[in-house]
Amino acid sequence: MTDTPVCVLGLGLIGGSLMRAAQAAGRDVFGYNRSLDGVAAARLDGFDATATLDQALARAAESDAVIVLAVPMPALPVMLEHIRRVAPDCALTDVTSVKGAVLREVEAHGLRSRFVGGHPMTGTAHSGWAAGSQELFAGTAWVVSVDDDVDALVFADVMNLALDCRAFVVPARSDEHDAAAAAISHLPHLLAEALAVTAGDVPLAFALAAGSFRDGTRVAATAPELVRAMCEANSEELLATLDRTLGLLTQARNHLAAHTSVADLVDAGHAARIRYDSFSRPDILHVTVGAENWREELAAAGRAGGVIRSALPVRGNRG
Amino acid sequence: MTDTPVCVLGLGLIGGSLMRAAQAAGRDVFGYNRSLDGVAAARLDGFDATATLDQALARAAESDAVIVLAVPMPALPVMLEHIRRVAPDCALTDVTSVKGAVLREVEAHGLRSRFVGGHPMTGTAHSGWAAGSQELFAGTAWVVSVDDDVDALVFADVMNLALDCRAFVVPARSDEHDAAAAAISHLPHLLAEALAVTAGDVPLAFALAAGSFRDGTRVAATAPELVRAMCEANSEELLATLDRTLGLLTQARNHLAAHTSVADLVDAGHAARIRYDSFSRPDILHVTVGAENWREELAAAGRAGGVIRSALPVRGNRG
């Protein structure tokens, strides 16, 4: 349990849900939103929201709140500029789907020592305050960064926030997170788009489309701006996984052209999916945040499928 | 309504479900299965099954049953050999996912005049008698072939069987079916396999995998033999759609490498998926099976999304 107040910047689907979930957990929560509509909607639901950024940040600085960046990537530099000026000592996290690019922005603004990145792996096809729910994070994964230099107390603040929102925490390095996100989220989006376009040009295809096509193209219904933003923000990692997939598909293509078997790809794909189905999620229990090698131990545990379901003990290492 | 008995060859997922559904509709149904285990399981559930092929076929010939080929492609030649010898005058259909290859086998055995191909667009990840259900076809598409030379009465037999199983019928030419099936079924399988393999090699990927990955790889859990069989049997059409997808993905790859936008693919994919979501399925009502140009009219209606939900009138043309 912790009493750290929470300052949420951006009250869209994720920020708005986080505000609700943290308040439901008994936290003191307040937030900022750029549009007055969003502020009015949050207030109407009984939440403490303002459209004046520096006012929210001044309060965060006074109350030693943890600040959550819940704005889209393009809005990040402006937020960080204000934070550096008004609340540079607050613990800082984010909820963005690409961690490397955020880390570079945070570093460029001199705030890296107080920052621990986060990525709640949840969402819906809708957006905005109204789409939010205090249940959005319940039972879902929330990645919390364990890069080489993260501060133990800030990590603990972010871990506790995620647990208060009823998520479980997956500790991961930012670079590994981005490589994994490319493979399990950004690549599937590109494959879904390509499948939809290909089938859309074949007469009778939509008339026959069933489960394989519906599942394979479901994420193509996501707003194109969001898909572009996440793919382009993670272009380097996405490029590597896309090239791997192109290699596999080109081999299969050559087998089909030569009337030889596509067994290599099909057997390997089946085996990988079966491994995924039996992937286990053991609880991480025996790591003390801030103890020697705690970051490496958490990264290794997360890589192996481990998750934090209740708060780990913390040994402070703050300045 | 029709009283034509049904002889099902092969009591796996599809054949076994068809047997249950046709019997539930009041049909006289009997079947053959190669393995004694399958026969015993069907009998235990109260169905009329034998492991002696010629016995089932002799009964089909006597009762003028419609014979359903529900065996895997490799078993087709042996079945057709027996049918030519024992029950050459029975109406004949199949439930195979590739129509051109089946048509060529049937023709090679001199049975084309009594054959109308079928393809129920349904399934589960499981197989065998035990996986079957009389509900498997309810509310799903069942393609029935309208190639240039199909017999109106055989077409009517197959249409009525599909409707009795509570499917709706999509009339389609075999060649158009195979091109569409490549795009909406075989290609999604290959993409799912490639995605599973790619992600399987990335540390942390399974730990973070959520909806996009699960949906995108769901069909990779299908038995590899089935995936190979359908892809390899439809290699020509699959090659064409796979090349189109490889072209789209390679363009996106080049944009990522050049740090330019992937908007072309993402916008087109989103537009295609949205078109699919609003694709309408009007009832085909005003065609008489066996009337002038009935095959061309049904093929055009099916291509436009039309489906047969209740039996069309039939004008007999049986020799």
As for the ipTM of the complex, it is 0.87
Task: Say if residue B199's pLDDT is above 90.
Answer: yes
What are the DSSP calls for chain A, one per residue? Answer: -----EEEE--SHHHHHHHHHHHHTT--EEEE-SSHHHHHHHHHTT--EES-HHHHHHHHHHHTPEEEE-S-GGGHHHHHHHHHHH-TTSEEEE--S-HHHHHHHHHHTT-GGGB--EEE----S--SGGG--TTTTTT-EEEEE--TT--HHHHHHHHHHHHHTT-EEEEE-HHHHHHHHIIIIIHHHHHHHHHHHHHHTSTTHHHH--HHHHHHHGGGGS-HHHHHHHHHHTHHHHHHHHHHHHHHHHHHHHHHHTT---HHHHHHHHHHHHHHHT---PBP-S--BTSTTHHHHHHHHHHTT-BB-SPPPB-----
- The whole-angstrom separation of Cα A20 and Cα A131 is 12
Tell the CATH superfamily of the B178-277 domain: 6-phosphogluconate dehydrogenase C-terminal like domain (1.10.3660.10)
Domain-wise residue ranges, chain A: 6-172+280-303, 177-277
Mutate to test the interface with B, among A144, A177, A197 (most CBs of B within 10 A): A197
Q: A284 to chain B, minimum CA–CA distance in Å?
A: 13
Q: Which residue of A has its CA nearest to B185?
A: A212
Across the interface, whether the CB atoms of B273 and A192 are under 8 A apart is answered: yes
The whole-number pLDDT of residue B1 equals: 47
The whole-number pLDDT of residue B319 equals: 40
- The whole-angstrom separation of Cα A81 and Cα B317 is 81
For A167-215, the pLDDT digits (tens) are 999 999 999 999 999 999 999 999 999 999 999 999 899 999 988 999 9
Residues of A whose CB is below 8 A from B121: 208, 210
The whole-number pLDDT of residue B316 equals: 64
Fold of A177-277: 6-phosphogluconate dehydrogenase C-terminal fold (1.10.3660)
Mutate to test the interface with A, among B169, B236, B249 (most CBs of A within 10 A): B249
Q: Which residue of A has its CA nearest to B238?
A: A256
Q: Which residue has the tokens 């053959």?
A: B32
How sure is the predictor about A282, in pLDDT bands with cuts at 50, 70 and 90? very high
pLDDT average, residue stretch B285-306: 95
Task: List C-alpha distances in Å: B37 to B19, B43, B253.
Answer: 16, 10, 50
The whole-number pLDDT of residue A104 equals: 95
Task: Say if residue B318's pLDDT is above 80.
Answer: no
Mutate to test the interface with A, among B126, B184, B239 (most CBs of A within 10 A): B184
Task: Say if residue B23's pLDDT is above 50.
Answer: yes
Instruction: Domain A6-172+280-303: give its CATH architecture.
Output: 3-Layer(aba) Sandwich (3.40)
The whole-number pLDDT of residue A2 equals: 61
Task: Say if residue A319's pLDDT is above 60.
Answer: no
Choose among A166, A124, A163: nearest CA to A144.
Answer: A163
Task: Say if residue A112's pLDDT is above 90.
Answer: yes
pLDDT average, residue stretch B197-221: 94
Across the interface, whether the CB atoms of B242 and A263 are under 8 A apart is answered: no
Of residues A180, A205, A249, nearest to B183 (C-beta): A205
Of residues A141, A189, A246, nearest to B250 (C-beta): A246
Q: Which residue of B has its CA nearest to A213?
A: B184
The whole-number pLDDT of residue B211 equals: 87
How sure is the predictor about A3, in pLDDT bands with cuts at 50, 70 and 90? confident
Across the interface, whether the CB atoms of A205 and B227 are under 8 A apart is answered: no
Burial of B222 (0-12, 13-18, 19+ CB in 10 A): buried
- The whole-angstrom separation of Cα A63 and Cα A67 is 11
pLDDT average, residue stretch B199-216: 93
Mean pLDDT of chain A: 95
Across the interface, whether the CB atoms of A215 and B188 are under 8 A apart is answered: yes
Asked if B5 and B40 touch (Cβ cutoff 8 Å), the reply is no
Q: A286 to chain B, minimum CA–CA distance in Å?
A: 19
The whole-number pLDDT of residue B210 equals: 84
